[in-house]
Copies of this chain bind each other. A is one copy, B any other.
Amino acid sequence: MIHVSSYSCGKWTDTGKESELYSAVNGKPVAVFQESELDYAAMCRYAKEVGGPKIRELTIHERAFKIKFLAQHLLKQKEKYYNISTHTGATRRDSWIDIEGGILTAFGISSQARRNLSDLPWHVEGPEVTLSRKGTFTGQHICVPRPGVSVQINAFNFPVWGMLEKLAPAFIAGLPSIIKPSPTGSYLACSVFRDIISSGILPEGSVQFIAADVPGDLFDHLTSQDMVAFTGSAATGRKLKAHPSIIANSVHFNLEADSLNCSILGEDVSPNMEEFDLFIREVANEMTVKTGQKCTAIRRTIVPEHLLDDVISALRIRLENSPPGDPSQKETRMGPLASPEQAKRFEEQCQQLQEVTESVYAGAAINGAFTGAKLLVCHKPIETDTVHRVEAFGPLTTIMPYKTTEEAIAIANKADGSLAGSLFTNDDEIAKKIVMACAPYHGRFMVINRQSAGESTGHGAPIASLVHGGPGRAGGGEELGGYRAVLHNMQRVALQGSPTTLRNITAQHIKGAGTEEASVHPFKKYFEELRVGEALTTEKRTVTDKDVKDFAHLTGDHFYAHTDPDAAARSMFGKIVAHGYFVLSATAGLFVYPYEGPVLLNYGLEDLRFTAPVFPGDTIQAKLIVKRKTRRQKRETDKDPYGMVWFAVEVTNQENVLVAEYTILTLVKRKEKLDIDR
Question: Footprint of B on A, CB under 8 Å?
Answer: 122, 129, 131-134, 136-137, 139, 141-142, 144-148, 223-225, 238, 241-242, 247-252, 255, 416-417, 428-429, 431-432, 435-436, 439-449, 451-452, 454-457, 463, 465-468, 471-476, 478, 481-482, 491-498, 500-502, 504-505, 541, 547, 550-551, 554-561, 563-564, 567, 570-572, 579-582, 584-586, 588-590, 592-596, 600-610, 662
Contacts and interface: CB of A to CB of B under 8 A. Distances in A.
22 contacts: A129-B466, A131-B457, A137-B452, A141-B467, A141-B481, A223-B416, A224-B416, A225-B441, A238-B248, A249-B416, A250-B472, A428-B500, A428-B504, A432-B505, A439-B493, A443-B493, A449-B497, A451-B501, A452-B501, A463-B494, A466-B494, A556-B590
Given A139-B465, A505-B435, A455 B133 contact: yes
B447 A595 contact: no
Number of copies: 2
A497 B435 CA distance: 11
A463 B593 CA distance: 43
B455 A139 contact: no
Given A428-B500, A451-B500, A584-B581, A491 B556 contact: no
A292 to B, nearest CB: 21
Question: Which of A223, A557, A606 has the largest number of chain B CB atoms within 10 A?
Answer: A557
Given A145-B440, A440-B146, A594 B494 contact: no
B505 A455 contact: no
B603 A609 contact: yes
Nearest to A667: B572
A559 B551 CA distance: 19
Given A440-B225, A475-B250, A496-B446, A610 B603 contact: yes
Question: Which of A224, A550, A590 has the largest number of chain B CB atoms within 10 A?
Answer: A224
Contact of A554 (B435, B439, B550): B550
A404 to B, nearest CB: 18
A454 B134 CA distance: 10
A496 B136 contact: no
A584 B441 CA distance: 43
Contact of A465 (B122, B131, B467, B495): B131
Contacts of A564: 594
A649 B445 CA distance: 29
Nearest to A496: B446
Contacts of A609: 603-604
A610 B604 CA distance: 6
Contacts of A551: 554, 585
Given A136-B454, A442-B493, 12 more contacts: A131-B466, A141-B466, A224-B416, A224-B476, A250-B476, A441-B491, A445-B496, A451-B500, A541-B556, A555-B589, A563-B594, A581-B588
Given A247-B242, A452-B501, A252 B603 contact: no
A445 B584 contact: no
B494 A249 contact: no
Given A455-B137, A592-B559, A431 B608 contact: no
A644 to B, nearest CB: 12
Contacts of A557: 585, 588-589, 592
B452 A417 contact: no
Given A136-B455, A238-B248, A457-B137, A129 B482 contact: yes
Contacts of A601: 561, 572, 610
Contact of A455 (B134, B252, B594): B134
A505 B436 contact: yes
A250 B501 contact: no
A87 B579 CA distance: 60
A457 B496 contact: yes
Contacts of A594: 558-560, 563-564
A457 B585 CA distance: 39
Contact of A449 (B223, B498, B595): B498
Contacts of A550: 550, 554
Contacts of A428: 500-501, 504-505
Contacts of A493: 439-440, 442-445, 467
B586 A584 contact: no
Given A444-B493, A595-B560, A472 B255 contact: no
Contacts of A441: 224-225, 491
A582 B585 contact: yes
B452 A224 contact: no
A481 B125 CA distance: 12
A390 to B, nearest CB: 16
Contacts of A580: 602-603
A249 B472 contact: yes
Contacts of A561: 601
Contacts of A606: 606-608
A595 B567 contact: yes
Contact of A586 (B556, B593, B662): B556
Given A141-B481, A505-B436, A567-B596, A498 B417 contact: no
A635 to B, nearest CB: 12
Nearest to A146: B440
A224 B132 CA distance: 40
A481 B143 CA distance: 14
Contacts of A604: 607-610
A439 B491 contact: yes
Contact of A463 (B139, B473, B478): B139
Contact of A497 (B448, B572, B584): B448
A500 B451 CA distance: 9
A51 B468 CA distance: 30
Given A439-B491, A605-B605, A505 B547 contact: no
A407 to B, nearest CB: 16
A448 B496 CA distance: 8
A144 B445 CA distance: 13
Contact of A224 (B417, B496, B497): B417
